[in-house]
Amino acid sequence: MAAAVSAPLLRFHHHHRCLLRHSSSPRRYPAGFSRGLSSVSFGLPRSTTTAARSTASPSAPSAAAAEATDAASAQAGSDGKGDGVGEEERVVLPTNESSDRLLRIRHTCAHVMAMAVQKLFPNSKVTIGPWIDNGFYYDFDMEPLTDKDLKRIKKEMDRIIRKNLPLVREEVSREEAQKRIEALNEPYKLEILEGIKEEPITIYHIGEEWWDLCAGPHVESTGKIDRRAVELESVAGAYWRGDESNQMLQRIYGTAWETEDQLKAYIHFKEEAKRRDHRRLGLDLDLFSIQEDAGGGLVFWHPKGAIIRHVLEDSWKQIHLQRGYDLLYTPHVAKAELWKVSGHIDFYKENMYNQMDVEDELYQLRPMNCPYHILVYKRKLHSYRDFPIRVAELGTVYRYELSGSLHGLFRVRGFTQDDAHIFCLEDQIKDEIRGVLDLTEQILGQFGFRYYEINLSTRPEKSVGSDDIWEKATLALKDALEDKGWEYKVDEGGGAFYGPKIDLKIEDALGRKWQCSTVQVDFNLPERFDITYVNSNSEKKRPIMIHRAILGSLERFFGVLIEHYAGDFPLWLAPIQARILPVTDNESHLQLQYCNEVASELKSKGIRAEVCHGERLPKLIRNAETKKVPLMAVVGPKEVQARTLTIRSRHSGEIGTMPVDEFFRRIQLAIANKSSSL
């Protein structure tokens, strides 16, 4: 694919900048650039509730969103005993984008926090303090902070809030702003002021005690903040400007909401997200690991994780073959010259690993699969009659990531993309895009993902390709989306330099959105590689190239699935679908022998089954529950004699006694229907 795959949650956009100040004399401390995050929309439960959507599905009316969430939550993470999701009253949380009041509260809280820090630690220096998707943070040059310090800072913030100090806007000249900052000996803020090009410079006063050099917005007074809806969450180290060669700062994270109920809902969400953390579940369920002896960001798929990957890959391949794609396997390395032709060495070098010398020729680990697929296309001359040509590959790529940015399966250094490229004629673009959207819906629907956020990105200021082809391609993308009946937002000028694109974010059981699927039209690589076809007039023409991925990368998508299901995979995906449990290990071993016979028969029919014994039956059942095995088949003397099984479902409890063939038939039906249980 042409686009990098990265973690979805923390993406900053520049909105405004503010200079924060403290003083009982006229001391001024700037707060730098405050930047809003692209929101992660989630509705959070109060008490035991499910996540409610704040945006409607593109394929269903908004009124159905809450009901669909209940259904998704019932499958994603239920342990048969209630897991805190799916009942009672909901609190739907606003976002910075949906609530101007919330954004003002968070912006003001950043200032109030910096004011509190300066009062408690007079020698501290402030740097930047942006709002983010769930609150705000602020970076300080000061001594290391402890959790005890955070409690002191929060108490001081509460005092400032209770004083109901007004926030008053004032305009000053650049010279005046510089004078005030220099008087305070604030080098970080001088740097920030130098980067502010607009004039006049605006100041927001907090009563008579503080002022901010800031573009706003803010609440009218500190009393507009509900102090019970604000919490300081953590402190971490951060380098100034993100540069490791700069000073290490103390970053305090806080969260702020409009009401105390919203804060409680957010805390519940955090607890639920922690319970679903794919790194912890990956260890507990023995799914995968990152082995530091091998290197950071390199994923080891353990047997249970590997079998899930096998099921994913097998389903992916079957669906693609049915949809008219040809499968490819291509090398992990290529001569460096290939990456010069593609432009990656010029424009993507910082994300690529160093080249290696092979018999006096330079080779490069691939960061993308696109050039390989183009080489396969170029192996012969094509006629217009050959189109569309669709090729797909589960291709492993390698991209350089700083060690500090690595995060479980969400940000790694080696990953496998579900990559595909379509070569087509101009008048085939719409139908091919529509086909990709249909395929996306089919594949994602298997996992219960049916609610999406869709963005259509159009031509940026700097781009390649003629006006005519851009217009045709963009119109084709719009028409395909409208044919599907999917709602979408237009990101004007947000396309890649090489073509317009559609990005799709899926919504998980907690209402979080994850960028996975993308469809991109490319006018650049066909030109760079000079690929052509012969038209009906025997003239050589350039084909249209479409990049697309649906899952994004197997590693990252697997991490999303773990958290979506809370490790409790539906029957068709579960690494072990059934455990056969003897009531006792009796002297004659008849029960254990029968268990092994049943397990062998199920395995021969493609069911992932295993026998567990050596403990009392209640312990065996508890162990299976802990490991989230969907089905348990209990075998006692009666079952041995009657050649039956007593079935217990993790989701549904006791199901009953049945012959082995009936058990197998019901498993097959549940797998075919992608059900969670029998």
pLDDT at residue 411, rounded to an integer:
95
Q: Of 104, 227, 421, 564, which is the active-site residue?
A: 421
pLDDT at residue 209, rounded to an integer:
85
Specify the DSSP element, H or E, that contains 72.
helix 65-75
Active site residue 149: no
pLDDT at residue 21, rounded to an integer:
33
Mode of pairing for the β-strands spanning 361-365 and 248-256: unpaired
Q: Residue 601 — pLDDT band, cuts 50, 70, 90?
A: very high
pLDDT at residue 528, rounded to an integer:
93
For the residues 627-638, what does the mean pLDDT come to? 96
- DSSP-assigned letter for residue 393: E
pLDDT at residue 518, rounded to an integer:
96
pLDDT at residue 37, rounded to an integer:
28
Active site residue 370: yes
- When comparing pLDDT for 626 and 91, which is higher? 626
Active site residue 419: yes
Q: Which structure tokens are listed for 653?
A: 């409890």
Q: Could you identify the residue written with the tokens 């649906």?
A: 550
- Smallest CA-to-CA distance from 584 within 622, 618, 623, 630 is with 618
Mode of pairing for the β-strands spanning 631-635 and 578-582: parallel
Residue 516 sits at the vertex; the CA angle it makes with 93 and 434, to the nearest 5 degrees, is 110
Weakest mean pLDDT among 401-405, 443-447, 489-493, 634-638: 401-405
Active site residue 421: yes
Q: Of 344, 501, 513, 627, which is the active-site residue?
A: 501
Helix (H, G, I), strand (E, B), or coil: what is residue 527?
Answer: helix
Environment class of residue 494 by beta-carbon count within 10 Å: exposed (0-12), middle (13-18) or buried (19+)? middle
pLDDT at residue 90, rounded to an integer:
62
Q: Mean pLDDT over all residues of the chain?
A: 86
Helix (H, G, I), strand (E, B), or coil: what is residue 280?
Answer: helix
Residue by residue, DSSP assigns 185-250 as T-HHHHHHHHH---SSEEEEEETTTEEEEE-----SBGGGS-GGGEEEEEEEEEEGGG-TTS-EEE
Q: Is the pLDDT of residue 651 over 90?
A: no
Environment class of residue 401 by beta-carbon count within 10 Å: exposed (0-12), middle (13-18) or buried (19+)? middle
Active site residue 613: no
Amino acid at 644: T
pLDDT at residue 89, rounded to an integer:
55
Q: Say how far apart CA 106 and CA 123 lie, in whole Å.
A: 25
pTM above 0.95, yes or no: no
Are residues 556 and 505 in contact, defined by beta-carbon separation less than 8 angstroms?
no
Q: Residue 572 — pLDDT band, cuts 50, 70, 90?
A: very high
Q: Which structure tokens are listed for 330?
A: 């291509």
Specify the DSSP element, H or E, that contains 149.
helix 147-162
Are residues 477 and 509 in contact, defined by beta-carbon separation less than 8 angstroms?
no
- DSSP-assigned letter for residue 109: H
Are residues 21 and 213 in contact, defined by beta-carbon separation less than 8 angstroms?
yes
Domains defined for the chain, CATH in brackets: 100-272 (3.30.980.10), 295-332+367-565 (3.30.930.10), 578-673 (3.40.50.800)
Ordered strands of the 361-365 beta sheet: 333-335, 361-365, 356-358
Handedness of CA 281, 283, 286, 291 (dihedral sign): positive
For the residues 411-416, what does the mean pLDDT come to? 96
Are residues 592 and 613 in contact, defined by beta-carbon separation less than 8 angstroms?
yes
Q: Say how far apart CA 666 and CA 326 lie, in whole Å.
A: 34
Q: What is the pLDDT of residues 247-293, one digit of tens each?
A: 999 999 999 999 999 999 999 999 999 999 999 999 999 999 999 99
Q: Of 27, 309, 547, 627, which is the active-site residue?
A: 547
Helix (H, G, I), strand (E, B), or coil: what is residue 93?
Answer: coil
Contacts (Cβ under 8 Å, ≥6 apart) of 677 = 571, 630, 631, 649, 650, 651, 652, 670
pLDDT at residue 454, rounded to an integer:
96
Weakest mean pLDDT among 182-196, 232-246, 253-267, 381-395: 182-196
Ordered strands of the 578-582 beta sheet: 609-611, 578-582, 631-635, 644-649, 653-659
Weakest mean pLDDT among 4-18, 539-553, 564-578: 4-18
Q: Residue 62 — pLDDT band, cuts 50, 70, 90?
A: very low
pLDDT at residue 464, rounded to an integer:
87
Are residues 477 and 521 in contact, defined by beta-carbon separation less than 8 angstroms?
yes
Handedness of CA 44, 46, 50, 52 (dihedral sign): negative
Q: Residue 678 — pLDDT band, cuts 50, 70, 90?
A: confident
Percent of the chain having pLDDT more than 70? 86
Specify the DSSP element, H or E, that contains 373.
helix 370-377
Q: Of 118, 262, 364, 417, which is the active-site residue?
A: 417
Q: Residue 316 — pLDDT band, cuts 50, 70, 90?
A: very high
Q: Is the pLDDT of residue 208 over 50?
A: yes
pLDDT at residue 5, rounded to an integer:
30
Weakest mean pLDDT among 167-181, 244-258, 269-283, 324-338: 167-181
Q: Which structure tokens are listed for 113?
A: 């926090």
Q: What is the pLDDT of residues 257-269, one digit of tens each?
A: 999 999 999 999 9
pLDDT at residue 175, rounded to an integer:
92
Q: Of 133, 419, 508, 568, which is the active-site residue?
A: 419
pLDDT at residue 588, rounded to an integer:
60
Active site residue 605: no
Q: Say how far apart CA 190 and CA 420 lie, in whole Å.
A: 49
Are residues 436 and 469 in contact, defined by beta-carbon separation less than 8 angstroms?
no
Mode of pairing for the β-strands spanning 452-457 and 489-491: parallel
- DSSP-assigned letter for residue 649: E
Q: Say how far apart CA 302 and CA 282 lie, in whole Å.
A: 9
Q: What is the pLDDT of residues 450-471, one digit of tens each?
A: 899 999 999 999 888 899 999 9
Q: Of 399, 430, 450, 579, which is the active-site residue?
A: 399
Paired strand residues for 361: 358
Interior/surface letters 610-636, b for 16+ CB within 10 angstroms, e for the rest: bbbbeeebeebbeebeebbbbbbbbbb
Weakest mean pLDDT among 32-46, 141-155, 569-583: 32-46
- When comparing pLDDT for 421 and 216, which is higher? 421
Amino acid at 382: H
Q: Is the pLDDT of residue 73 over 80?
A: no
Percent of the chain having pLDDT more than 90? 73
For the residues 73-83, what does the mean pLDDT come to? 42
Q: How many CB atoms lie within 10 A of CB 464?
A: 15
Are residues 371 and 529 in contact, defined by beta-carbon separation less than 8 angstroms?
yes
Q: Say how far apart CA 363 and CA 357 lie, in whole Å.
A: 6
pLDDT at residue 58, rounded to an integer:
35
For the residues 103-121, what does the mean pLDDT come to? 95
pLDDT at residue 586, rounded to an integer:
64
Q: Is the pLDDT of residue 129 over 90?
A: no
pLDDT at residue 8, rounded to an integer:
29
Orientation of helix 429-445 relative to helix 467-484, angle to 10°? 40
- DSSP-assigned letter for residue 52: P
For the residues 354-361, what does the mean pLDDT come to? 94
Q: Residue 92 — pLDDT band, cuts 50, 70, 90?
A: confident
Q: Is the pLDDT of residue 96 over 70?
A: yes
pLDDT at residue 67, rounded to an integer:
33
- When comparing pLDDT for 254 and 85, which is higher? 254
Q: Residue 130 — pLDDT band, cuts 50, 70, 90?
A: confident
